[in-house]
Amino acid sequence: MTKLDSKSALTAGKMKMPIVGLGTWQSTPEEIEIAVNAAIDAGYRHIDTAHVYANESAIGAALKKIFDSGKITREELFIVTKLPFSGNRAEDVEPFIKKSLEELQLDYVDLYLIHFPAGLVNKGFDNLFPTDEKGQLLMDKSTNILELWKGMEAQVDAGRTKSIGISNFNQSQTKRILDNCRIPPANIQVELHVYLQQKELVSFCKKNGVTVCAYAPIGSPGHKNLLEKQGFSTEGLKVISPLEDPVIKEIAKKYNKQPSQVLLRYLIEYGVAVIPKSINPERIKQNFDEWTTYCQYCDPQTKELITCRAGCYVCFPQISTSSLTKMTKLDSKSALTTGKMKMPIVGLGTWQSTPEEIEIAVNAAIDAGYRHIDTAYVYANESAIGAALKKIFDSGKITREELFIVTKLPGIGNRAEDVELFIKKSLEGLQLDYVDLYLIHCPAGLVNKGFDTLHPTDEKGQLIMDKSTNILEVWKAMEAQVDAGRTKSIGISNFNQSQTKRILDNCRIPPANIQVELHVYLQQKELVSFCKQNGVTVCAYAPIGSPGHKDFLEKQGLSAEGLKVISPLEDPVIKGIAKKYNKQPSQVLLRYLIEYGVAVIPKSINPERIKQNFDIFDFELTKEEFEKISGLDRGEDGRMFGGRKIIGYFNLLETHPEFPFPK
């Protein structure tokens, strides 16, 4: 486990939400300045408000003083506000977010939420809860949350908010947004505390890359008083107090903490952010108090409470993947998710497969249960894959919607103006209207000499590089392909961590996936950890090594002299584990990687091997076996396709400014 600290954050795409924030519901404008200052001094960097709290202008005034003092900068804070119920129409989103920004004295917020799925009639900015002559709320029953979501997406495009999300939505409503969005919700905020743990909703959101934030995380001890102050009847109001629960009090006593701190600690270990509300500086500090000792899960009194942690890494990447896989059963339908993208964890790799071999391989894969096929423009087999898929679709065996198809922009297309041309060419070859994922194949660009010149060379046989490659401009053109509907998601391949970070720091649509060489001898632990923390899924090419690499190069007339040949298939640790489970070494190698939390795309044209590579869901590695295989990592010495002391295609690009591998 990685210890939680005051800088821990939940991530989804570009959004990084500090796990503890200051809730401001029930706080009057008069109380706000004290609360905000106390929170900033205590270390909070996340403040939650809403138009209907009627305190945005007080928060804005408090923040302006803080920024002007130089104590912290705007960029250090994560500010959340919400669209009111009376703004639940697509055309009203922009006026309301502009009003919130004006009150907050900000150019943007970090997260803008739809406060509630049900809409009210809009009677103006100040009429928060419009009523008729009988005092009944005036509902707008024509609310269309999908049209409303488009209005939210437009605010990301306009730069008024970095991320968008939802609040008080149920699972069905959340799914409707996910199934129909262009920009997926980064967060859902709901009532959540130890007495209402919302396990099914939390699990669903985590599986779909939506982070969760808990309001009323310690219950709502001030709720009754607030209603009475506002003249509402509290007759029949349910008052529950987790703060008084004997289990909570006992754990608090053990750690010399307040019950509120135990309640908050449980929720952040549960994998959700918390926004406890207080105006008391001492309590504000207590709620943020750094408590880095993990609760003792073996304690009998905690077993009742701490029960739901499966799937945590999707939105709380500090949880180790090996622990995750012991809690969430992997099966043939398991997928890596981020936003709307759901990538089946085992796919068919088609690099090195000739057009003649493709039909056999694709049919064998579909029959074995594969629903993920990976290709690339430079593999020169998209037309063969397209022809094979057309026959399969025409036969009725499966539909297009059941498949996850990946292809890649070639090095010769690494200019913004060429992206559309090449994706259209790939779609034409594949006979598809869209792909599920489109990747930049390599950050280093080559000169474009036409569609058929995949690797342009000069008179000396040297690759003709385009050293003016601008990966940020290329990425903007990739984003445009999502907007145009030619691809559902976009990503990168063969990028290093620094290049990946540049994309994340400057994108509108974050990369959904990175595909890199990854196997037990090159586990890329630092890159994988970075990607998971930033909501980028990882796919491993050459997941069992690349036993056919040498033969392939020789067939192409390229020299294989000096080529590094390493074979994890022959590793005694792998062979020993394979024998124990009556499996092939390749199956153990693949099983380890999916338990490690990455997708795999083993290449084969042999129907029996294709079937074997998918037959990895009927056993799981013990903790000891997982750790033993983890120890096989050789770091850069395990790399086969680029980097130090390696002869191969990628190293012909070594002088390119965007060469991604260690030299």
Positions marked active-site: 379
Q: Are strands 465-466 and 445-446 parallel, antiparallel or unpaired?
A: antiparallel
Give CA torsion, residues 365, 369, 372, 375, to 10 deg.
0
Q: Do residues 286 and 261 lie in contact, with contact meaning Cβ atoms separated by under 8 Å?
A: yes
How far CA 399 is from CA of 282, 371, 391, 436, in Å, comes to 60, 10, 11, 14
Which distant-in-sequence residues (6+ apart) come within 8 Å of 438 by Cβ? 406, 407, 408, 409, 423, 426, 478, 481, 486, 487, 489, 490, 491
Residue 245 CA to its chain's centroid (Å): 35
Residues 6 or more apart in contact with residue 103 via CB below 8 angstroms: 56, 57, 59, 60
Cβ neighbours of 49 (radius 10 Å): 28
Inter-helix orientation angle 56-69/29-42, to 10°:
40
Alpha helix segments (H runs only) across 46-106: 56-69, 90-104
Buried b (16+ CB within 10 A) or exposed e, 519-553: bbbbbbeebbbbbbbbbbbbbbbbbbbbbebeeeb
Strands 9-12 and 15-18: antiparallel
Q: What whole-number distance in Å separates Cα of residue 109 and Cα of residue 97?
A: 9
Q: Can you tell me the distance from the alpha carbon of 644 to that of 646, in angstroms, rounded to the nearest whole number?
A: 6
Whether 335 and 345 have beta carbons less than 8 Å apart is answered as yes
Nearest to 540 by CA among 608, 592, 482, 616: 592
Q: Is residue 355 exposed (0-12), middle (13-18) or buried (19+ Cβ within 10 Å)? A: middle
* Sheet strands side by side (includes 46-48): 22-23, 46-48, 78-83, 109-114, 161-167, 187-191, 211-215, 273-274
Query: Which of 63, 70, 62, 52 is CA-nearest to residue 31?
Result: 62
Give 395's contacts (C-beta < 8 A, 6+ positions apart).
none
d(CA 60, CA 277): 18
Name, in order, each residue with C-beta under 8 angstroms of 554's C-beta and a sequence gap of 6 or more: 560
* Closest of 426, 408, 379 to residue 474, by C-alpha: 408
Distance CA 268, CA 251 (A): 16
In the three-class reduction of DSSP (H, G, I as helix; E, B as strand; rest coil), residue 139 is classed as: strand
Question: How far apart (Å, rounded) are the C-alpha atoms in residues 606 and 245?
Answer: 61
